[in-house]
Chains A and B, each alone.
Chain A
Amino acid sequence: MGRSVIPIGPYHPLQEEPELFTLTVEGERIVEVDVRIGYNHRGIEKLSESKSFDNSTFVVERICGICSTSHPFAYVRAVEDIFPMEVPDRAKYIRTIIAEGERIHSHLLWLGLAGHFLGYNTVYMWAWKLREEILDVMEILSGNRNNYAMFTPGGVRRDIRPQDIPVVLAKIDSIVPTLEMLRDAILDDPVLHARLKGVGVLTKEKAIEFSALGPTSRASGVARDVRKDSPYGVYDRVDWKMIVTSNGDVFDKAVVRILEMFESIGIVRQCFEALPEGPINAGIESIPPGEGIGHIEAPRGETFHYVRSDGTNRAIRHKVRAPTFMNLPTYKATIVGETISDATIILASIDPCYCCTERMAVRNHRGRLLYDGEALVELSRAKTENLKRRMGRT
């Protein structure tokens, strides 16, 4: 059978990292995959070396919009690791609240877009509507919907006002019933089972080999979570459990993310209950020479920052590693052997961000355009519709 090459990308508006995927297909089957990144490279590591330790917090916040708390969190922990030092208790609680709020909004964002690519626009609209409530919570706590600017080496920049806490808790309580409805609707839907189960499997061995992180590894049965393995913030003081499933397919990745949202809600509630009084900033005077490493569990996996100081007010080296850098290469293991209509959801499943449906085009070996991005989403939706019909759920 003749081989065709499908370029996907490089643009897709929903992702932090525009990439160009090149799929080689035989008929419907994908036999090879290659990726070219770099459309988003802004040289942040170099930029950060020209900024003071305080200013770098704002630079790393702009690495990724969805993880705009994870990067500052890992960065300030790296700076604090140079001493090493501990931050005040209240700051730890506030940091945990913001980080978990971000996890809920990030997972909702993923859930919505995953639904969109499966042709379930209802899921998309519901999830994003719920997400607005979480963004409201973040706006009340930090003053901004994204880019919270809450973190600073030694503590947090901004305190939580006591009068805001009941408002925030009421908002969180209000989304729980809808979230439960959404969970049951998604996890019990036979059509989604048929579309997602056994698709894009990442085996446990491969997850370890690629050093996959976060929900991508936990769905493959690798119990790996920085919050448990190397507790920071107040994760060792609150009660929560790590969600681990064993199949490694797209469905399990969805299950892990959905169930994690409920854990996050639990953590946020416990943090508000136990929020102690006290200072929010340890007040760092100067950074000693040395090197520090900070790693935290972002919604997508471990975010890693390494900072080296020579005793001046600027870092001489600042290394950033986002979770997608480790998760993205797992495509090599998951997408080969699957069909084109499932490519969109497999690419979406690790939450790298999203497959670039807008700019997707399938060409045969003579270069004639067969499908564009919309046609591929249509293909995916048609498959969902067919399954629905076959199951008598039109």
Chain B
Amino acid sequence: MTREQVLRDLGNRFGDDILDIFVKSPKRVFIKIKPRAIAWVGPYIFRELGARFNIATGTDTPDGIEILYHFTLEDINLMLNIRVLLNRDNPVITSLGKEIEAVNWIEREMKELLGITFEGHPDPRRLLLPDNWPDGVYPLRQDYSEWDETAIRTRGV
């Protein structure tokens, strides 16, 4: 399949869910979809199109919490970036980790660093932060500020 065929195929299948398609360069395409649609768009790209899951990037933007799922179609050298925008007060999205092993860890990471809830995640434990890290403090949020009063931030010289 060529790049055009892939985009046409996705447009036909998920026309109602796709909000915007932006072809940045021949190798990079950004597709914005409705948050609930990731539950079927993600597995379709991974299983049916045979894409490799690169990673997902969670970002705290002024409009809300955004997740970019990066998939690579290696045969045609195309990176599909699926963008969803979540409400900042209650960022909830369906977990892909329950279906695709490769997504498991990054969802755990986004949960603790950005406070996104992944519904149905098989293993929602902490991944990177220590167990005594306070609940509700998310370091990658824009409003994060130092919470630890014992921290020393000077070099002592």
- Whether chain A touches chain B in the assembled complex (some CB pair under 8 Å): yes
Q: Which residues of A contact B (CB under 8 A)?
A: 37-38, 41, 43, 45-46, 81, 84, 208-211, 224, 229-230, 291, 293, 295, 302, 304, 306, 308, 316-317, 319, 321, 325-326, 328-329, 332
- What residues of B have a CB within 8 angstroms of the CB of A38 in the complex? 126-130
Establish whether residues B77 and A293, one from each chain, have CB atoms under 8 Å apart when the complex forms: no
- Chain B's closest residue to A330 (CB) is B101
Would B70 and A304 count as touching, CB distance under 8 A? yes
Residues of A near B101 (CB, < 8 A) are: 209-210, 329, 332
Q: Which of B119-149 contact A (CB under 8 A)?
A: 126-130, 139-140, 144
Please classify how large the interface on chain B is, using the bins under 10, 10 to 19, 20 to 34, 35 or more.
20 to 34
Residues from chain A with Cβ under 8 Å of B139 in the complex: 43, 46
Chain B residues whose CB sits within 8 angstroms of the CB of A332 once the complex forms:
101
| Secondary structure type dominating chain B contacts | mixed
Q: Are B129's CB and A211's CB within 8 A?
A: no
Residues from chain B with Cβ under 8 Å of A302 in the complex: 54
Query: Which B-chain residue is minimally distant from A302 (CB atoms)?
Result: B54
A41 to B79, CA, bound (A): 28
- Docked pose: A332 CA to B74 CA in angstroms: 25
A80 to B105, CA, bound (A): 28
Alpha-carbon distance A319/B70, docked complex (angstroms): 12
User: Chain B's nearest CB lies how many Å from the CB of A383?
Assistant: 31
- For the complex, what is the distance from the CA of A295 to the CA of B105, rounded to whole Å? 19
Pairwise interchain contact A295-B100, C-beta atoms closer than 8 A:
no
Chain A residue contacts of B104, Cβ below 8 A: 329
Instruction: Add 14 more A-B contacts to A45-B140, A208-B52, A329-B102 (CB < 8 A).
Output: A37-B127, A37-B128, A209-B100, A211-B52, A224-B52, A224-B74, A295-B54, A295-B72, A304-B55, A304-B70, A317-B57, A317-B59, A325-B105, A325-B106
Please, which residue of chain B has its CB at the minimum distance from the CB of A209?
B101
Alpha-carbon separation in the docked complex, A81 to B28 (Å): 9
